Amino acid sequence: MTNGTENNKIYLVDDDRIVCHSLGLILRKSGYVVDVYYSAEAFLEQYEDTDTGFLVVDQCMPGLTGLELQQVLVEKNANLKVIFITAMHETVNEVALKNGAIKVFEKPFDPKGLVDLLGSQVTLYE
């Protein structure tokens, strides 16, 4: 369970509404505050430079891809920890990690692994 700080904020960006719904439920039950966006563009419309927390993002989406969103955030010096969830693991993994992602999960994946990773990362903030 998270400590209630802003570091428990998760921005979930995936065009698959079923993934967003189910993963959002799991993350909320684990104590996280989750904002869901169905496109990178929708996320960027609300993004502010002071936002902190985690960005959990898919690679393949209409419009900007996950890697393109990550690049925009790198250029903005965003203070978000990026985690990819993608069916294109081999294509995405190296570039995402090189650009600062903390993990790339291959779909389908066990959400417990994501929850465990988030928990270990939240404690690093404290």
Residue 46 tokens, joined = 């609300």
Q: Which domains does the chain have, with CATH numbers?
A: 7-121 (3.40.50.2300)
pLDDT at 76: 93
pLDDT: which is higher, 107 or 123 = 107
Determine the angle formed by the axes of helices 17-29 and 111-125, rounding to 10 degrees.
50
Q: How many CB atoms lie within 10 A of CB 28?
A: 12
Residue range 3-32, pLDDT digits in tens:
344 568 999 999 999 999 999 999 999 999
pLDDT at 89: 82
What is the rounded average pLDDT of the residues 47-58?
93
CB 66 within 8 A of CB 85: no
Residue 57 tokens, joined = 């993002």
CB 85 within 8 A of CB 108: no
Q: Is the pLDDT at 61 greater than 90, yes or no?
A: yes
What is the rounded average pLDDT of the residues 69-75?
96
What is the rounded average pLDDT of the residues 78-90?
92
Pairing of strands 33-37, 9-13: parallel
